Every structure is written in C-alpha cells, then in structure tokens.
Amino acid sequence: MANIKKPHTSPEERIEQMIQRLKESNHRITPQRFGILKVLANSTRHPSAETIHSAMIVHYPTMSLATVYKTLALLKQVGEVLELQFSELGNRYDGNHPQPHPHVICTDCGEILDPSLLDLKKITEKMMRETGFKIVGHRLDFYGLCPNCQ
C-alpha cells in the first residue's frame, strides 16, 4: 500500500512527470507553464489560482491570472492536478497527488492538510452496488479547526 503523504518523488521528479504528460498530449512547455508546475510541485498547501499567480508574478511580471486558470484546466484535463471545489473558499489545487485522497480543512484559516492514506476502495464498491452508478472518483473532506485556530 503506497503512502501518498510522503511520496518518494521529489518536486523535480514531479515537475518532470508533468512535463512528460504535457508533451505526450502535444502541449508546449512555455515559461509560464513551467513556472506553474514549479509552484504546484513545491507546494503542500493546496494553493488557489490566485495564490499561484501571486507567487509567480514576482518572477514573471506579465503573468496573467487567465493563464493560470487555463493551465490548471489543462493539467486537470490530463490528470496531473486535483481540483478541490469550494464555493466560498474558492477552488484549490493539488499538483502532488492528483488522485482523490482525503483532506482536512480548517474552516477558519483555510489551511488544507493531506492526512495519511485511507483506502475507500471497498466503500466505493459498496456504493456502486447499491446505487448502480459507475463511480470514477470521490472526495473526502474533514472540516474543523486547525491547532493554530482552536
């Protein structure tokens, strides 16, 4: 059973994986895209599009938010980023673990953690049997207050 909390892949390796996937699907590696991959691979904080943009504008002063959104949509499409939708918090992105996995979310400061792996395979099968759905993904969030905000 793999431990997705501390993957053996380094940020560099992760960036390389994502680049490969983009090339495979005939997409160009632009400085903007490379920069976004770098931010994603080096972040454990599940950044928002805005956060990624802010981090990048220091080095790429002309970087636009639209490009961040377009790149995130592309990465989502090729399966290299996991999008966590929140209507209040705004969407957040996980580029290190694109497969569904549980999150623990602070309702006060918005911090998002990846706790250790939890296998929902059996539960997913149960759900498929019960509902007749063909289930291809899931989402498991726990909401509460992080140690700092308590």
What residues line the site for a copy of itself (CB under 8 A)? Answer: 85-88, 90-91, 102, 104, 106-107, 113, 115-116, 118, 123-124, 127-128, 130-147, 150
- The 10 Å Cβ neighbour count of residue 93 is 24
Residues in contact with 12: Cβ distance below 8 Å, sequence separation at least 6, in sequence order? 41
Q: What is the largest CA-CA distance in the chain?
A: 52
**In the complex, minimum distance from the CB of residue 29 to a copy of itself, in angstroms, rounded to a whole number:** 28
- Assess 60 for contact with DNA (CB under 7 A): yes
Return the residue of 5, 13, 29, 145 that touches DNA, per CB under 7 A.
29
Q: Which is nearer to DNA, 65 or 118 (CB)?
A: 65
Please classify residue 143 by burial: count the beta carbons closer than 10 Å to its beta carbon, then call 0-12 exposed, 13-18 middle and 19+ buried. Answer: exposed
DSSP 149: G
- Assess 49 for contact with DNA (CB under 7 A): yes
Return the residue of 9, 10, 44, 64 that touches DNA, per CB under 7 A.
64
